[in-house]
Structure 1
């Protein structure tokens, strides 16, 4: 299963990434965020960190570029954890 996680650098998104890297049913994790995503520091030894790919997307308001569409087109699931932190 290919999983997309948006907002992957936040509290919820990073926890989803951590759990997805441990789950053997998930074969690929595409983390989409405004900055590069790395495996969480608290990822266990049995986490398959090689499953994680990071995609930086700065503009979430316009049509996605074709390169982004190609990377997300065959995903099986998406967890939308993108949020705005209130100031």
Structure 2
């Protein structure tokens, strides 16, 4: 099973990514991120990481290349989360 995921550099999305990579039924994971993933994650053999700076403008070739995915987890946001700001 091939799974696509956004938000993999964040807290919740990162945990979803880790769970997908460790799940035996998932053969490949494609992570769409705004920035590079850490080396210890990006080198995982099941993972393909694609940096997309503007999630409002997806390149057609990227979409077509992954149209065979079984599912998608969308934890991406329009802006980087700053939960600490809410408590100031």
Structure with bigger helix share is 2
1:25: how far off? 0.2
TM (norm. structure 2) is: 0.78
> Is residue 31–residue 37 contact of structure 1 (8 Å, CA) maintained in 2?
no
Which one has a bigger Cα radius of gyration?
Answer: 2
The alignment's C-alpha RMSD in Å is: 1.7
Q: Please list the CA deviations of residues 40-76 of structure 1 after superposition, one character each: whole Å capped at 9, or x if unmatched.
A: 8xxxxxxxx20011001011113x2122112321110
Question: How many positions carry a matched residue from both structures?
Answer: 78
TM (norm. structure 1) is: 0.79
> Is residue 5–residue 31 contact of structure 1 (8 Å, CA) maintained in 2?
yes
- Stretches of structure 2 that go unaligned for 5 or more consecutive residues are none
